[in-house]
Chains A and B, each alone.
With several copies, the nearest count.
Chain A
C-alpha cells in the first residue's frame, strides 16, 4: 500500500498502462514538459518520450480525430481534455466517430480510446473550468462513462478504461485531485472490481444516497452528519455512469425505499433523471416516497463567488434526505405533495 493523491494515482495508473503496452500513448495540450495543468501526466514524457506522451496542437476536435485514426492503426490513445468546458469542440468527433466506429464497422475496428476529463466545480475558477458535461456522453450510445472518487479507484479505473476495447470517458473529480488515500499498486488489474460496478461506501437502511466523483465525499459526510440525528443513509458511489449498475442500486432502494441522487450538473435532463426514472421502473413498489434529486441548477456554471450556492453541499443533500423521508424539506413544499396528501385536481 502506498499513500497517493488522487492525481498521483492517475499518474501512476497512466505510467503502468504506458509500461504495459507500447501501443498506448497519451495525447493532449500541455501534457508533456509541463505535465498537464494539474500535473497528472508529470514526468511521463521524460520517461516514455515525446512519441508516447504527445503534446498536440491546440485543437480538441483535432486531438480526438487523430486519436480515431491512431485507433484504426492499432494504437490505444489516452486523450487529456484540459478542462471539462473544452470538450465541446470535440463533440462531433466523439459523438459521430469515436462512439460509432465499432458499430459502423460491424466490429472490425475497435477504438480503445480513453478520454480523460478533469470535471466539476468548487475550485474558484474562471468560466468554462467547472463543468459537469457527463450527461451528454452518458446519453450517447457506444460510449462508456466512469468517474472515480478515491485514489485507489483512480489508479485502478484509469487502467481498466485504457484496457477496455470500448471508448471510455473518464471524468476526474478535479477538486479532489489532492485528496490522499492508500493505493495498492501491486494488485493485478484482473483482481480488481470491474469498472462497471457501483460500490456501497456507507451501508445504511433508511435512505439510499447516490453520488459519483466529487460528491461522494460530500455524500459520505452527509451520512455521518445524519447518523448523529439517527438517520441511517446508505451511500453508493456509482463509479460507472453509463452503464449504471442497476442491480446494486436497485437492491439498495428495495431495502431503504427511499432515494436521493446528487450531482453537480444541472438537474434538468441530468444523469439523476435517468437514475430516478430507471430505479422508479425497477423499484416502484418499494418506494415509500418520490425519489429526490439534489443537483446544480439550470444555469450556466456561475462565477466563483456564487459557486457555493450552485453546488450541492452537505446542507442541501441533508435537505434532500429530509424530503425523501417525507420530512418536508424547506425547498420541497410546493412541488412534492406529501405522501397521501389530498391535492385538488
Chain B
C-alpha cells in the first residue's frame, strides 16, 4: 500500500538523486551514443518511414541550430544582442520534437527554444530582435503557429492547455505543445496545467527538456524522482526518452501528437538532455558545476551519434557534409547580417498596442511625451544612453 520511500535530499548538490547510470538506463532510445541503431518495438513504427535522407535533414537542422547558437553567443559578446541563452546540447530534443509537429499545431515555449523557433520557419534574426531588445516578440504568432518566448517560468504550460481546449471545442485535430524545463516543473502553474489538461482531456503535449540544471540548481533539488513519474499521478501518460537521440524524441512526440489528435488527451514527455553551456551569456557555471559532468555528457553528443549512424549507412558523404556546411554557413552569415542591421525602434512604439482600443489615459501620456520630445532636436537624444548588461546579473 505504501509506496517506496525516497532518499533524503537536503544540501546535496548532485544533479539528480538517481545515479547517472540508472537514469541513462531508464531512457527510451533508438540511437546509441556510438551511432548504433537500437531496436525499440514501441518507437520503431513511428519513424519507420525515415530514410537516410530524412535523417540527414534532421542532422542538418541540428547542425544549423548549433551554429546559430554559437552565433548568438558571439553576437552577444560583440554587443549586437544583450543576452543569449545557449541551447548547446539540446539540439536533438528541440529538433526531434519540433519536426514532429504540423504547421497547424501551436507551440508555447520557454526562452531557450531557438531550435523550435527555427523549425517553425521563423527567421533567426526575427528571434534576435527580442534578444537585441527591440521587441518582446519577433514574429506573428499566427504565422509561425508559435507564441512569443515566455520568460515567466511555467506560465506557458497553461496557455498551451487553454489553446488545446479551444482546439477541442473547435473539433479540430491539431495539438498544442508546451515546452518547459526541469526547473519549471516545481511551479504551481505547471502542475495546474496538468490538472486542467487531465480534467478536460485536452490535446496538449507537455514537453519537458530536463537539461539537469535550472541556472545553478541541479534537477535533484526540484525532484527526487524522475520527472516523468509525476504526470501519471495526474492521469497523464508519460514517457522518458533520451533527449540527445533525435529519433527517439521524434517518435515519442509523434506518439503524443497522435494521441492528442485522436481524442486521447494530454501526454507528457521528459527528454533527458544536458545544458552544455552556461544558463545564459551572463552566467558562469564554474561557480556551481563539476566539469566532469560536462565531459561525461560531451560523450553523448546529439549530433555525433547521428553522424556516426549516417556514416555506418554510408550516407554521411563528402557531398552531404559539404551541403550541411554550406547551409550552416549561409544561416550564420544571414543571421549575423540581419541582426546587425536591425534598426532601433521608434520611440513612440512605447505606446503602441498596449490596448487594442483607444485608451484616454495612455493617449494623454503619449501626446504629452510627443510634445516633450519635440523640444529636442534629435528625437533619439533624450534619456541616458542605455547600458546593456550594466549590472551583469545572470539573467
Determine whether A and B are in direct contact in the complex, meaning some CB atoms lie less than 8 angstroms apart.
yes
Query: Are B162's CB and A69's CB within 8 A?
Result: yes
Task: Categorize the interface residue count of chain B.
Answer: 35 or more
CB of A9 closer than 8 Å to a CB of B: no
Among the 9-residue stretches B114-122, B216-224, B260-268, B302-310, the one with 4 or more Cβ atoms under 8 Å from chain A is B216-224
Q: How far is the CA of A334 from the CA of B393 in the complex (A)?
A: 42
CB distance from A261 to the nearest CB of B (A): 16
Query: What does the 1/0 interface line of A310-345 toward B look like (CB < 8 Å)?
Result: 110111100100000000011111110000000000
Measured CB to CB, the nearest residue on chain A to B368 is: A331
Query: Are A51's CB and B10's CB within 8 A?
Result: yes
CB distance from A48 to the nearest CB of B (A): 12
Q: Tell me which residues from 330 to 379 in chain B have a Cβ below 8 Å from any Cβ of chain A.
A: 344-345, 347, 349-357, 359-362, 364-365, 367-369, 371-372, 374-375
Which one of B132, B166, B189 contacts A74 once the chains associate, using CB atoms below 8 Å?
B166
Q: Tell me which residues from 174 to 200 in chain A have a Cβ below 8 Å from any Cβ of chain B.
A: 174-175, 177-178, 196
Which one of A49, A64, A166, A332 contacts B356 once the chains associate, using CB atoms below 8 Å?
A166
Which one of A110, A178, A310 contacts B350 once the chains associate, using CB atoms below 8 Å?
A310
Query: Are B192's CB and A59's CB within 8 A?
Result: yes
CB distance from B236 to the nearest CB of A (A): 14
CB of B153 closer than 8 Å to a CB of A: yes
Query: Are A69's CB and B161's CB within 8 A?
Result: yes
Q: Which residues of B contact A67 (CB under 8 A)?
A: 162
CB distance from A158 to the nearest CB of B (A): 17
Which one of A58, A66, A304 contacts B222 once the chains associate, using CB atoms below 8 Å?
A58
Query: Are B10's CB and A126's CB within 8 A?
Result: no
Query: Are B360's CB and A243's CB within 8 A?
Result: yes
Among the 9-residue stretches A90-98, A146-154, A251-259, the one with 4 or more Cβ atoms under 8 Å from chain B is A90-98
Among the 9-residue stretches A10-18, A34-42, A230-238, the one with 4 or more Cβ atoms under 8 Å from chain B is A34-42
Q: Tell me which residues from 115 to 141 in chain B have a Cβ below 8 Å from any Cβ of chain A.
A: 130-137, 140-141
Q: Which residues of B contact A32 (CB under 8 A)?
A: 216
CB of B314 closer than 8 Å to a CB of A: no
7 A–B contact pairs at CB < 8 A?
A: A62-B189, A69-B160, A104-B148, A127-B151, A243-B359, A243-B362, A319-B372
Closest 10 CB pairs of A and B: A69-B162, A65-B158, A308-B383, A304-B133, A73-B166, A124-B388, A66-B162, A50-B11, A62-B192, A243-B361
- List chain B positions with a Cβ less than 8 A from chain A: 10-11, 13, 82-83, 106, 108, 111, 130-137, 140-142, 147-148, 151-153, 155, 157-167, 169-170, 176, 183-184, 186-189, 192-193, 195-196, 199, 214-217, 221-222, 282-283, 287-288, 344-345, 347, 349-357, 359-362, 364-365, 367-369, 371-372, 374-375, 382-395
User: Told that A70-B166, A246-B360 touch, could you supply 9 new A-B pairs with CB distance under 8 A?
Assistant: A37-B395, A58-B184, A102-B354, A105-B148, A125-B82, A125-B393, A126-B133, A196-B360, A333-B371
